[in-house]
């Protein structure tokens, strides 16, 4: 074991030569470490795992429920009831508080348990050289100074400086977002501040070896790794409150002021006109209870839980209830490219058969071996095309990757580029294992791909006992190896002018975002040895194969729909500029005249300049985790509601800082899922747009029941206030108000959670993120409609008093009239602008169930002897019901007519 003593191990290490590193390592090894020193350093540098946020405890969830402002108001009202001797009222209000808390607790806790079920705990092993011998240890036992041995297929378990690299390639998408593996070497890097994706002599924790082998001196473990730095950044990043949380908090604070003002005004007015002080105190408590929408926390929680369930049906798992609505407020979706917009699976899409010959297009995406071969609009059989067959056979023979299906997902073991070649061959019916084991192809020799040579070559003995040599690699290299070109059924000399034309074709394919490889072959009667000398020249050029990490099939349509909804999509990726730009154009993110902005270009920009860059551009490439976080901060500074999608560790800080972080469930890392608010179980970008739509529907429905509850509660206040002004006995008693708020109001309000969406819900721009729920127009509508609703029971009450009915009967009539008019008022709430009595009302079966239940409960309150002394009701003679129904229906007709007039 040895420790590289440097405060900045990483930056110094990749600028040191191999000799400096190995000398330092050998010196430290010779000095040795005592057992106590070794243990101390393991304690200092291990365990080699990232910090993760702990799960929310049930107690924390329960405490959050009791922090609700509405609950606090109810506790105050309950306390006043106990103080003035109304024990029954105090107990009733406390029961409401407990019910609300239980609703919130179980829904939040269930969501948290669902997320915990996604987490996987895996113990990783690593091969290290200690005391001159190779040994396998747990990853959390690695310390800086160990020699980390890397072979194809291994996970890299620490950061390290390479001292040996034999044809080594590392997949670093988890950190950089770049789909293609990075070729590694041991060269000393001279330039400072090199982007992470270009540090070719370093390996990083969390990446994986796709080709070759190597040895690296461990320079950092745990939080001293690049992944560890992201973890620290993640813990330093504060989560943004969701728009719904902010709006409900703002509304709750306003509610405190409104409640106190209403209670004070009515009490003072009552005392001023000669009412008894104790009566006015009791009235003040009644008004406080009337002003507080007791059912709001329960209805809001249930509505969000319903939204959570619906989103789960769309393969979107929401971790926090308020986050269900947040996507509906989203103005900008910041998305990663690899694995989010694209399949994260290299796919061979185009084969160029040579000059003056056809271009073959291949359908299908990813590693699933299903697809067709087309020339123009015509589907062809590749086995009937001699040259195409030779390209496909040669591509798979000159590859070592294996494509296989696991858990209904097709994956590649080995280099993704080779995986694309193998998959294309399988689509045509050519399987390398079958060709070798049953088809008579025997592998003779191989030249592995190296970053220096930039080609791979193999030789096979064919079933005809001839030798077939196949080479694939960088077009510029392969073209120079050839002196002939294969045409359909013939071989011609390869002139220099033809070579130049081939180079131009290669460039044209690359500009379309394709990764281009060239293939060449040679056939002979007997084996040429060695292979390296036979491929240097004299090869026959076959053609180009163009592959790409393709966009997901429905991404373009989803981005278009988001754009219509006023939601901007921004690509933030660690991939190359050209690749990002090509994908961006394919999915409809970028304007054709605009390029991609690199992380280097935005590094060090002031906040104002960064904001301007974001406004004018939609694609950011070669970005670091810090760049992603800065972009999210800049957007939030502009009051944008941000949704950040991602799957890698490098996305985690931005996922946490965004208003809502959306992680990938299938390919996403545990760290990304931990930092997110929502997890896409199908990794499908289009699911986000479905969630945006559902979020908007949820917020519309939340506004509907807020309008409904507030207008109902305000109608109770106005009824009592008008009664005091008219100097008649209080039309409603405290427990009658509580009954209305908990029974008559809650069931109809709950049904609004299942309301079908308004027309053109995705044609409207996002809501103003700085605008509260209770806008001026919203308040006016609530106030006007509440006044109309209150006039029905008030006139019925005044009529009953005028014909000298007993006070208990008059109050019961007022009580029942208000209950029914509030019940029918739910139809006013169903549509913000249109009429609530339309054909869509039959789509919500819960609405009719609530009507039946509420009417039944109201009849029970009037006619069941048990409730009569509690609610101070008396049975109503049937001849009075015409008056009650008239007072209930006429206000609704007036509101519907007013909506019709205003709409026109």
How far apart CA 724 and CA 728 sit, in angstroms, is 6
Q: How many CB atoms lie within 10 A of CB 338?
A: 26
Task: For the chain, give the percent of residues with pLDDT over 70.
Answer: 76
First-to-last alpha carbon distance for the chain, in angstroms, is: 82
3-class DSSP state of 670: helix
Report the distance separating Cα 629 and Cα 656, nearest Å: 9
What is the CA 60 to chain-centroid distance, rounded? Answer: 24
In a domain, 392, yes or no: yes
We report the CATH number of the domain holding residue 418 as 3.40.1110.10
Question: Do residues 799 and 726 make contact, with C-beta atoms less than 8 angstroms apart?
Answer: no
Confidence band (pLDDT; 50, 70, 90) for 510?
confident
Average pLDDT over residues 827-839: 76
Cα 387 to Cα 439, 483, 501, 673, distances in angstroms: 19, 17, 19, 47
CA dihedral sign of residues 361, 363, 366, 370: negative
Evaluate whether residue 406 is within a structural domain: yes
Q: How many CB atoms lie within 10 A of CB 769?
A: 18
pLDDT for the residue numbered 770:
65
Residue 485: inside a domain = yes
Q: What is the number of domains present in the chain?
A: 1
Contact 186, 18 (CB under 8 A): yes
346-400 pLDDT, tens digit each: 899 999 987 666 789 999 888 889 999 999 888 999 998 888 999 999 999 999 8
Q: Residue 57: its pLDDT value, please?
A: 44
- Domain of 392 in residue numbering reads as 378-492+503-544
- pTM, 2 dp: 0.64
**431, part of any domain:** yes
Residue 868 lies in a domain: no
Tell me if 786 is assigned to some domain: no
Return d(Cα 494, Cα 176) in angstroms, integer: 41
In contact, 345 and 416? CB cutoff 8 Å: yes
What is the reported pLDDT for 142? 84
What backbone torsions phi and psi does residue 620 show, to the nearest 5 degrees?
-125, 120
As a whole number, mean pLDDT of residues 719-727 equals 87
Structure tokens at 299: 């209805």
117 band by pLDDT with thresholds 50, 70 and 90: very low
Name beta bridge partners: 678: 318, 662
Burial letters 491-521, b for 16+ CB under 10 A, else e: eeebeeebbeebeebbeebbeebbbbbbbbb
pLDDT for 623: 83
pLDDT tens-digit series, residues 731-745:
988 788 878 877 777
pLDDT digits (tens, 9 = 90+) for 626-680: 888 889 989 988 888 899 887 766 677 788 888 888 888 776 666 677 778 888 8
Residue 453 in domain: yes
Q: What is the pLDDT of residue 389?
A: 92
> What confidence category does residue 55 fall into, taking pLDDT thresholds of 50, 70 and 90?
very low
Please name the residue that has the structure tokens 């023979």.
397
β-bridge pairing 619-621 and 442-447? unpaired
User: Per-residue pLDDT averaged across 700-704, rounded?
Assistant: 85
* 104-108, 156-160, 276-280, 479-483: the lowest-pLDDT one: 104-108
| Average pLDDT value for residue range 321-326 | 70
At which residue do the structure tokens 């910041």 appear?
334
Token reading at 775: 């806008």
Tell me the CA distances in angstroms from 546 to 26, 506, 643, 810, one per residue in order.
47, 9, 33, 84
Sort 176 into a burial class: Cβ within 10 Å, 0-12 / 13-18 / 19+.
Answer: buried
Confidence bin at 51 (pLDDT 50/70/90):
very low
Active site residue 336: yes
Question: Residue 10: pLDDT above 50?
Answer: no
Residue 807 placed within a domain = no
Tens-place pLDDT, residues 135-187: 888 777 888 888 899 887 788 888 899 988 888 888 887 677 666 788 888 88
Considering the candidates 336, 575, 630, 651, report the single residue annotated as catalytic.
Answer: 336
Q: Exposed, middle or buried by CB within 10 Å (0-12, 13-18, 19+), for 160?
A: buried
Please indicate whether residue 37 or residue 340 has the higher confidence score (pLDDT): 340
Most confident of 234-238, 241-245, 306-310, 713-717: 713-717
- The alpha carbon dihedral of 562, 347, 499, 495 has a sign of negative
pLDDT at residue number 486: 86
Burial class (CB in 10 A: 0-12, 13-18, 19+), 193: exposed
Average pLDDT over residues 691-711: 85
What is the bridge-based pairing of β-strands 515-524 and 539-548?
antiparallel
């Amino acid at each position: 074991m040895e420790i590289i003593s440097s405060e900045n191990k990483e930056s110094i290490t990749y600028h040191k030569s191999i000799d400096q590193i190995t000398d330092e390592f050998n010196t430290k090894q010779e000095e040795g470490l005592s057992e106590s020193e070794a243990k101390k350093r393991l304690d200092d540098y291990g365990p080699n795992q990232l910090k993760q946020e702990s799960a929310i405890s049930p107690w924390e969830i329960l405490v959050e429920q009791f922090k609700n402002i509405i609950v606090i108001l109810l506790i105050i009202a309950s306390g006043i009831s106990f103080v003035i001797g109304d024990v029954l009222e105090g107990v009733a209000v406390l029961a409401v508080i407990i019910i609300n808390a239980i609703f919130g607790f179980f829904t939040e806790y269930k969501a948290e348990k669902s997320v915990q079920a996604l987490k996987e705990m895996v113990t990783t092993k690593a091969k290290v050289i200690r005391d001159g011998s190779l040994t396998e240890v747990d990853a959390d036992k690695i310390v800086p100074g160990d020699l980390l041995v890397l072979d194809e297929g291994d996970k890299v378990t620490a950061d390290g400086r390479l001292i040996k690299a034999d044809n080594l390639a590392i997949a670093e998408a988890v950190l950089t977002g770049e789909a293609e593996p990075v070729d590694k070497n041991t060269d000393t890097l001279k330039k400072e501040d090199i982007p992470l994706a270009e540090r070719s002599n370093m390996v990083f924790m969390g990446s994986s070896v796709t080709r070759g082998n190597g040895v690296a001196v461990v320079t950092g473990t745990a939080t001293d790794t690049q992944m560890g730095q992201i973890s620290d950044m993640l813990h330093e990043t504060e989560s943004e409150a969701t728009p719904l949380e902010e709006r409900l908090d703002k509304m709750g604070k306003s509610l405190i002021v409104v409640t106190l003002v209403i209670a004070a005004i009515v009490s003072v007015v009552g005392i001023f006109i000669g009412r008894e002080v104790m009566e006015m105190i009791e009235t003040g408590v009644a008004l406080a209870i009337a002003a507080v929408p007791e059912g709001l926390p329960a209805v809001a929680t249930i509505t969000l839980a319903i939204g959570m369930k619906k989103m789960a049906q769309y393969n979107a798992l929401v971790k926090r209830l308020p986050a269900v609505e947040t996507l509906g407020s989203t103005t900008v979706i910041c998305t990663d490219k690899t694995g989010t917009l694209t399949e994260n699976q290299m796919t061979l899409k185009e084969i160029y058969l040579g000059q003056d010959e056809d271009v073959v297009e291949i359908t299908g995406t990813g590693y699933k071996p299903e697809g067709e071969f087309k020339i123009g609009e015509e589907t062809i059989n590749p086995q009937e095309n001699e040259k195409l067959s030779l390209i496909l056979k040669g591509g798979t023979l000159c590859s070592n990757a294996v494509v296989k299906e696991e858990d209904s997902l097709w994956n590649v073991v080995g280099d993704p580029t080779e995986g694309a070649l193998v998959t294309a061959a399988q689509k045509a019916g050519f399987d390398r294992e079958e060709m070798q084991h049953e088809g008579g192809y025997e592998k003779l020799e191989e030249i592995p791909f190296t970053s220096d040579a930039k080609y791979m070559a193999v030789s096979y003995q064919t079933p005809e006992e001839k030798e077939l040599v196949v080479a694939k690699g960088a077009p510029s290299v392969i073209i120079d190896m050839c002196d002939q070109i294969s045409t359909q059924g013939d071989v011609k000399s390869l002139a220099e002018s033809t070579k130049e034309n081939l180079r131009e074709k290669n460039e044209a394919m690359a500009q379309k975002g394709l990764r281009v490889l060239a293939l060449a072959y040679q056939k002979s009667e007997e084996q040429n040895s060695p292979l390296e000398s036979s491929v240097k020249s004299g090869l026959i050029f076959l053609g180009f194969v163009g592959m790409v990490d393709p966009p997901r099939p429905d991404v373009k349509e989803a981005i278009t729909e988001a754009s219509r909804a006023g939601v901007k999509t921004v690509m933030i990726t660690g991939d190359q500029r050209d690749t990002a730009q090509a994908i961006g154009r394919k999915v409809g993110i970028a304007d054709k005249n605009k390029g991609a902005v690199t992380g280097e270009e935005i590094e060090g920009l002031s906040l104002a300049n960064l904001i301007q860059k974001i406004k004018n551009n939609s694609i950011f490439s070669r970005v670091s985790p810090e760049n992603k976080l800065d972009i999210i901060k800049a957007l939030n500074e502009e009051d944008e509601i941000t949704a950040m999608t991602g799957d890698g560790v490098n996305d985690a800080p931005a996922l946490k800082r965004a208003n809502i972080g959306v992680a990938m469930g299938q390919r996403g890392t545990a760290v990304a899922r931990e930092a997110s608010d929502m997890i896409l179980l199908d990794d499908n970008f289009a699911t986000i747009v479905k969630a945006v739509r559902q979020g908007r529907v949820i917020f519309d429905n939340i506004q509907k029941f807020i309008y409904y509850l507030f207008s109902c509660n305000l109608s109770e206040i106005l009824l009592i206030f008008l009664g005091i002004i008219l100097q008649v006995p209080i039309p409603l008693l405290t427990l009658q108000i509580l009954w209305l708020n908990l029974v008559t109001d809650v069931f109809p309000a709950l049904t609004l959670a299942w309301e079908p969406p308004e027309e053109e819900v995705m044609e409207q721009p996002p809501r103003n993120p700085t605008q509260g729920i209770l806008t001026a127009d919203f308040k006016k509508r609530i106030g006007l409609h509440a006044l109309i609703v209150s006039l029905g029971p008030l006139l019925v009450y005044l009529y009953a008093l005028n014909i000298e009915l007993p006070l208990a009967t008059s109050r019961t009539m007022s009580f029942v009239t208000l209950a029914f008019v509030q019940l029918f008022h739910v139809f006013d709430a169903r549509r913000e602008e249109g009429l609530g009595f339309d054909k869509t009302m039959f789509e919500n079966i819960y609405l009719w169930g609530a009507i039946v239940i509420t009417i039944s409960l109201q009849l029970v309150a009037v006619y069941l002897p048990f409730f009569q002394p509690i609610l101070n009701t008396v049975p109503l003679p049937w001849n009075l019901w015409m008056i009650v129904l008239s007072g209930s229906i006429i206000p609704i007709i007036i509101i519907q007519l007013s909506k019709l007039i205003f709409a026109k």
